[in-house]
Structure 1
Amino acid sequence: MLPDEELGEEKGHACHEVSPQTTPEVEMLDAYSRAVIAVVDAVGPAVVSLFTSGNPSHGGVEQQGAGSGFILAPDGYLLTNSHVVGKSKQLRTVFTSGQKTTAAVVGRDPDTDLAVLRAEATALPYATLGDSSQLRVGQLVIAMGNPLGFESTVSTGVISALGRAFRSQNGRLIENVIQHTAPLNPGNSGGPLLDSRGRVIGINTAIITAAQGIGFAIPANTAKWVVSHLIRHGRVKRSYLGFHARDRKLDRRLARLHRLEQDTAAEIMMVDPQGPASKAGLKEGDLVVAIDENPLFSVDDLQRSLAEHKPGIAVRLMFIRRLELLNVMIEPVEAN
């Protein structure tokens, strides 16, 4: 018998090491991997584990993590979910560096399931809130968190829908929510949802396990104005009109007919039968396009305007019903 090398030479075949072929698909996967790795390297240090205050379990083992959060500013401000914080006044925070500290609750907003904490630390790595109004269905997203205390757990997916709504733990409808396919695990709540450039475009807030891992996130644009109110007041002071809405694309012909500046509006999804909107005659399907002569481009614009408006002082809503442009004066009440 001839050795394999000699057998190969005798048959006229040159022996060589087999290596994977470089194909467009492989190159594309490499680019995808590089994008995810770059985001993880850049944002990972800003993601933290949160533990509710309390005694360690028997044997001195630290309790299971309540959830995740991420650093908003180098002076220790953190953003997470309101339901992660619960009724706690203070939480324990663990950074990816291993540093541990306490974090006081600055404020909570159960209506958007957001909360701001202040950690006793400075010069921290932080993440940047992006512009969620530019999101598109099918866009790559990266979810990060520290589920069960396992730091920097990463999953990827795409945006599967925009403008979703679901009820928070206090029963209120959370509007304008991002739906995505990045798998989430228990404890991911409060972690960032990122775009391919590492900008936070949402805060992961819920998962429907029976629906094969559908994830939801509060948009970054909602978080921006909620955070400012929580830091200033400890809560969001908002007026209540008595309806829930979602973003809706306006037909171009309809926008031109009424000479509107925008191509989007807030579509009324549900009207509280006991609320101001019902008394003013607003109905499901009405498209709200302006408040006090200011154009509304999204539900965030409406919520931001109401958060800055005093209850009891009437506002003028401009809305479209079928093809007709209408106006109504409505007196908001203080949200409970």
Structure 2
Amino acid sequence: MLAQPWIQQQFYSATTPRAIEPRGDLAEWERTTIAIFDRVSPSVVQVAGRAGGDTFAGADPDEQNGGAQTGTGFVWDAAGHIVTNNHVVQGATEIAVRLANGDVARAQVTGLAPNYDLAVLRISGVRTLPPPIPIGSSADLKVGQAAFAIGNPFGLDQSLTTGVISALKRRLPTTTGREISNVIQTDAAINPGNSGGPLLDSAGRLIGVNTAIFSPSGSNAGIGFAVPVDTVNRVVPALIKSGRVPTPGIGIVAAPESVGTRLGVEGLVVVRTVPGSPADRAGLRGVDRTSGVVGDVIVACNDTPIRRLVDLSDVLEQVGVGNRIELTVLRGGGTTKLSLEVVDIGGRTP
């Protein structure tokens, strides 16, 4: 018994490298995850912008202070267009993009869409441009299916996180006061620096652009949000073509939803119409400023029930500028139908 510790030390100590144990084949889900990262990560970039200042320290986009703001983006097309979030580059006077291979290029803003928190940049002079990320669809997504996010959380580039789609059809407010509809919720870890990066399905296709998190601490709490790819695939080409996205509207000022609730009506109370707008020409009636009597209450648009302003905005976006809609309004105890043209209001009232 006294000799046992000495015997173990002398005869059983591993004084040479141990033999490697064969692990066998990777699991199917591991092979899928690895394949997605290998295929897509070269097309994911780091975006850095500086607001003001004489020089740009963007040669190292990891810089997080001194006025620098960083995020993620990804290659959209062979012309060098990069998609990211509007809030990543908002207010930046100089922008740089670092590719996965380490190349750094200056970027110019092609177009901004604050209503959707999307921005398109363009880089040039890059030796080899990575391929665009394949585009998927957000219309047929299911809660529970796998989701993969690639980005640069806290400046740690080329980070992959995995999870599932936690919920669909969320609404996300923007800095413009409008809401992004059909937003994807995921529990794939999204942290500061992931903004503007791709959310992917198990086929490696783009299904969303990561844009925000819900977190009291400011770090990942398992609730992240992404702009759906069907919205991205409509907005980005418009930004590339003209630098802006048409804002469909009919020219009304609407009361908050609480006003309708207080009045006991389920619909959108029209406060007033913009002179010369489609709503004005169609005879839509607002609140009587003298008596305070409520005028028209919009209850449906193209037979879709309307309860809030965002409901109307959703239908107008689906219809598109230049087309016509049919409003159902409550007026004088009855219902009236009005036909209106949808126009580009350019960020003014809906």
**Residue in 2 that maps onto 1:197:** 203
Give me the TM-score of the superposition, normalised by structure 2: 0.68
Gaps of 5+ in 1: 5-16, 245-267, 291-298
**Residue in 2 that maps onto 1:144:** 150
Q: Which letter does structure 2 place at the counterpart of 1:166? A: L
Distance 2:270 2:45 in 1: 39
- CA gap of 1:288–1:90, structure 2 versus 1, over 3 A, is farther
**Residue in 2 that maps onto 1:92:** 96
Distance 1:316 1:303 in 2: 11
CA contact (8 A) 1:103 1:117 kept: yes
Pairs within 5 Å for 1:74-153: 74-121=78-125, 123-125=128-130, 126-153=132-159
Residue 288 of structure 1: CA displacement?
4.3
Residue 134 of structure 1: CA displacement?
1.4
Residue 170 of structure 1: CA displacement?
2.5
Distance 1:131 1:42 in 2: 19
Q: Which letter does structure 2 place at the counterpart of 1:153? A: S
Residue 85 of structure 1: CA displacement?
1.1
Farther-moved stretch of structure 1 (189-198 vs 150-159)? 150-159
Q: Which letter does structure 2 place at the counterpart of 1:73? A: D
SS at match of 2:177: coil
Farther-moved stretch of structure 1 (157-166 vs 234-243)? 234-243
Matched, 1:47 2:38: no
Residue 282 of structure 1: CA displacement?
1.7
Residue 56 of structure 1: CA displacement?
5.9
Residue 302 of structure 1: CA displacement?
4.4
Residue 289 of structure 1: CA displacement?
5.2
Matched, 1:224 2:233: yes
- CA gap of 1:271–1:103, structure 2 versus 1, over 3 A, is farther
Residue 193 of structure 1: CA displacement?
0.3
SS at match of 1:187: coil
Alignment RMSD, CA only?
3.8
Distance 2:115 2:314 in 1: 13
Alignment deviations for residues 100-152 of structure 1 (CA, whole Å, 9 cap, x no partner): 00110000000001010001145411212211111111110001111233211
**Residue in 2 that maps onto 1:293:** none
Larger Rg: 2
Distance 2:37 2:329 in 1: 45
SS at match of 2:27: helix
How many equivalent residue pairs?
A: 276
**Residue in 2 that maps onto 1:282:** 298
**Residue in 2 that maps onto 1:186:** 192
Pairs within 5 Å for 1:32-71: 32-53=29-50, 55=55, 63-64=63-64, 65-71=69-75
**Residue in 1 that maps onto 2:307:** none
Distance 1:269 1:193 in 2: 35
Gaps of 5+ in 2: 9-18, 255-265, 274-278, 287-295, 305-312
Q: Which letter does structure 1 place at the counterpart of 2:63? A: Q
- CA gap of 1:92–1:237, structure 2 versus 1, over 3 A, is same
CA contact (8 A) 2:46 2:61 kept: no
Distance 1:66 1:75 in 2: 23
Alignment deviations for residues 293-335 of structure 1 (CA, whole Å, 9 cap, x no partner): xxxxxx87741533x328xxxx2237799xxx99532354613
- CA gap of 1:271–1:174, structure 2 versus 1, over 3 A, is farther
- CA gap of 1:176–1:326, structure 2 versus 1, over 3 A, is farther
- CA gap of 1:31–1:318, structure 2 versus 1, over 3 A, is farther
Residue 273 of structure 1: CA displacement?
4.6
Equivalent pairs: percent with the same residue? 37
**Residue in 1 that maps onto 2:340:** 330
CA contact (8 A) 2:270 2:297 kept: no
CA contact (8 A) 2:72 2:193 kept: yes
CA contact (8 A) 1:132 1:219 kept: yes
Give me the TM-score of the superposition, normalised by structure 1: 0.70
Distance 1:157 1:273 in 2: 44
CA contact (8 A) 1:225 1:304 kept: no
CA contact (8 A) 1:89 1:105 kept: no
- CA gap of 1:185–1:179, structure 2 versus 1, over 3 A, is same
- CA gap of 1:74–1:149, structure 2 versus 1, over 3 A, is farther
Distance 1:278 1:30 in 2: 64
Distance 1:272 1:225 in 2: 29
